[in-house]
A and B are shown apart, each in its own frame.
Chain A
């Protein structure tokens, strides 16, 4: 069933989907890409945020607004999480990577169970004006919710990139990622900077969580499906590159979309992850890595 029309639609849908993937991965780009924290609980926090949006939506609050409201809450959660991580692992040296991973797995499970105990195992979704409608352009029909996700994602990434490249704290964050020792010599406190950065990475999840539940219904164990995707995007991008995250996510989204439309959809996951392996084998530091 190959046709140019289908291909064009697949690419467009894939582009939008890719930007959505970028939005849910960008936080990890900061926490793992820049700060080297093996944050496998990132998707769990993401799902937690989307449940927060669901709860607020039950009171009639628009999901995007709810996401905005959750951003400061998650910023504080991020500060706290990093503090625990730092005290327990990073302070004690480099070889704590495995334990760090296990720690975050434990956190992810605990979050999963808490969500189940509070809200049950059933699927949840939100309702808003733009969910369920589509936009007709030429002879394409594009779901509104994907466009919303696309728009918000681009905005988020733009803001974050600007922050990191134009503000003083942003520079400090990038500096601490590059050479912590030198930063310390210049009188800045790397711990405080890293903690702030982790806070921002988690705050972004507030909006990302809203996007998650706008795009598709959520259920408590959804985080497991996203561990692979988000790390894939961040690693393929190259640690520390924000624009790289966007590019990698779009590549992932488009390839998934094309395979889903035109070839055996069953092969879609294999394609995306084979892409990752190829990139890593050929260029281990990622597409745009430092």
Chain B
């Protein structure tokens, strides 16, 4: 009894001295960051993982004593159901009722698009979370997209760089009839035309397509050198299955490109060896060149918490960027010593920021100045094994040059084995 009260007293005094538990600090209002996140609906798999990344950042910051003299960071999150119809009301509430200090964007383009004008009108900074070119029409000057895309054509340019280097001259483009896929495919077509790459096959497929054998069969008949697919998680898996079963022909040098979903653990686990040879985009991979300050620690924390929270166990694709979004505002708040939106925007625009996913710089339109989108090839993947993806070598980075960890194996049929 005695000892415990003595110990507690000593602890409290120590904490008081360190200023972590002083009444004054505890009475300070929290710094509120408001956002909506896809917790249900088609984007929920990614959304939940992204949110966990942000929560880990919040906990790290608060463990270090918070910001602006001991104020704790608080995330105010509402479920937007992956829907565009929900976000205007949610962000209005965040601003007018909850009176948050900063805003994060929802995950993905569709829920983000409706709030861009609102945020612009209110003069609030908005940190983007994986949308594609959502600011191009609106032109908000306080938009900062943490996603590694950069310029609109970067996806396709990077992919075609790899393909043309090994002699690819023709391309087949297959795209889902869905917002993101269509926009990326359009950019790819523009790049192909500019570079004189002949488009020998161009097809869109409707959502809810169950069976892809017929489409793959038609694609094969076109005999392309490169195959550029922009698909969404439900279709990516179905497409790869059909590609493995029907085959795409021996002249295909590289296949993949913009397949969303091959970054999610459950899809990777389900497909297993069917992934081998595919050259696809990614955002973060456990290759030696991708470890920066704090990256290793982050993933250790994430892996533990992901299992409890029942979200994507590996969390490579989105979670570290959620953390990085936090780091961006953390740096901005510390440096401007306040929450003034214009000052924060100026700081973010004019500086290079070090995050756990690498350095970030922003161009005037709010996208990253240089693309950090990875193009990687799956190698040596075995079936039904999640942990293999934690080691280097399963996804060899082919682009960008600065992060490269291997050479591409062509043709595609050969790389599959």
**Chain A contacts for B210, CB-based, 8 A:** 17, 215-216
Distance, CA A10 to CA B266, complexed state (A): 31
CB within 8 Å of A: which of B137-157? none
CB <8 Å contact, A216 and B211? yes
CB <8 Å contact, A124 and B270? yes
Partner of A132, one of B214, B217, B233, B274: B274
**Chain A contacts for B42, CB-based, 8 A:** 221
Q: Does A137 contact B (CB under 8 A)?
A: no
Interface string of B186-224 (1 = CB under 8 A from A): 000000000000000101111011110111011001100
Q: Does B51 contact A (CB under 8 A)?
A: no
Q: Does A96 contact B (CB under 8 A)?
A: no
Q: Does B177 contact A (CB under 8 A)?
A: yes
**Chain B contacts for A216, CB-based, 8 A:** 210-211, 237-238, 241
**Chain B contacts for A262, CB-based, 8 A:** 218
Q: Does B98 contact A (CB under 8 A)?
A: no
Interface string of A126-155 (1 = CB under 8 A from B): 010001111000000111111000000000
A1-B201, A221-B42 known; A13+B206 contact, CB < 8 A: no
Distance, CA A127 to CA B237, complexed state (A): 13
Partner of B270, one of A20, A145, A217, A257: A217
Distance, CA A215 to CA B210, complexed state (A): 8
**Chain B contacts for A269, CB-based, 8 A:** 206, 208
CB <8 Å contact, A13 and B214? yes
CB <8 Å contact, A1 and B218? yes
CB <8 Å contact, A123 and B234? yes
Interface string of A1-20 (1 = CB under 8 A from B): 10101100110011001001
From residue A108, how far is it (CB to closest CB) to chain B in Å? 15
Distance, CA A106 to CA B270, complexed state (A): 31
**Overall SS of chain A's interface:** helix
CB <8 Å contact, B266 and A3? no
Q: Does B380 contact A (CB under 8 A)?
A: no
Looking at chain B, what size class is its interface with the partner chain? 35 or more
A217-B238, A269-B206 known; A6+B221 contact, CB < 8 A: yes
CB <8 Å contact, B266 and A265? no
CB within 8 Å of B: which of A3-46? 3, 5-6, 9-10, 13-14, 17, 20
Can you list 27 A-B contacts with CB-CB less than 8 angstroms, sorted by A residue number? Answer: A1-B221, A1-B222, A9-B217, A10-B217, A13-B211, A17-B211, A17-B213, A120-B311, A121-B45, A122-B266, A123-B267, A124-B266, A125-B270, A132-B244, A142-B213, A143-B241, A144-B245, A216-B210, A216-B211, A221-B41, A221-B42, A261-B215, A262-B218, A264-B204, A265-B203, A266-B204, A268-B209
Q: Which residues of B contact A (CB under 8 A)?
A: 40-42, 44-45, 48, 177, 201, 203-206, 208-211, 213-215, 217-218, 221-222, 233-234, 237-238, 241-242, 244-247, 261, 264-267, 270-272, 274, 310-312, 383-384
Q: Which residues of A contact B (CB under 8 A)?
A: 1, 3, 5-6, 9-10, 13-14, 17, 20, 116, 120-125, 127, 131-134, 141-146, 215-217, 219, 221, 225, 257-258, 260-262, 264-269
